[in-house]
Every structure is written in C-alpha cells, then in structure tokens.
Amino acid sequence: MHTDKSGDCWVFTGSGQVYGKLDVKGRSVSAHRLAYESANGPVPAGQVVRHKCDNTKCVRPSHLELGTHADNSRDMTKRERQARGERQGSAKLTESQVLEIRSIAATGSVKHSLIAKRFGVSQAQIGHIVTGRRWKYLLNQSEKEVA
C-alpha cells in the first residue's frame, strides 16, 4: 500500500480522489477499510470504517474505528464537515446575500416576489430563507459575523 507515514496520519498516496482506492482481485476496495481489516479483522455487516481524524485518505489503524452510517452522519454534522450554504455546490446565494434578504424582508415593505427577482431565486426560496427553513444556521448571525 502506497502510504506517506511522515505525519500523524498515514496518508494513502495511491489512486482515489476523496478516499484511497485499491484494486483487490478485480474489486475496488477503500484503502482505509483494507487497513482496518488488516489490523483488526473483517468489518461486521452493517458497520463501516470511520476516520476519527477526519482525513479521508488516512489509513493509520489507530485513526480508524467501526460505526454505523448513522454514526458517520452524526459525526459529519457535529464536526461541521457537511456542505452547507455557499460550500454546497448548487448554492445560488452567498451568506451575505441571505442576511441581506432577511434584512429586507424584515422591513415588511418589499414583497417576496420582488426580493426573489432581485436575487434571481424563486419566491418560495425567499419564503424558506425568511422563515429559516433554508440557511437555518444563519438565523442568529449578523452581517458582521459572516462578512
């Protein structure tokens, strides 16, 4: 296994963009799973190999642990690794624009349809932003905190 062990994480340097991948008997296998299994034995059904270090290319056995997909999702949310807001690939607005939309809407003097037209999104999207159904994590932030 091609690995750089110069740091705390042992970084897989072979193929794979997000997770290291190896071809084992004609099958693509995650490098971190193979590293875990080499050190600890087979992964039980319903379990996944998770990175305690959050480095998806790390194959150091002490940085790997078993858990469920739900555990992995909870970790992602807790550690703020999920794509949200501007980091989410299909976002049409920036955090500053969302705060501006909320500020404009709070005055009550501009219709959602006009705000939507100005920012190039749907009227429904403006409603979701204003109520906190979208961009919820920005609800209690001021423009100064985001800018």
pLDDT at position 85: 73
Which pLDDT tens digit goes with each residue over 24-79? Answer: 898 888 999 999 999 999 999 999 999 998 888 999 999 999 999 999 888 887 87
- Same domain for 51 and 89, yes or no, is no
- Number of domains the chain contains: 2
Q: How far is it, in rounded angstroms, from Cα 117 to Cα 98? A: 14
Containing structural domain, residue 109: 85-146
- Same domain for 61 and 113, yes or no, is no
Phi, psi of 30 (to 5 degrees): -65, 135
State mean pLDDT over 89-113.
91
Mark which of 48, 78, 108 sits at the end of a domain: 78
pLDDT at position 147: 44
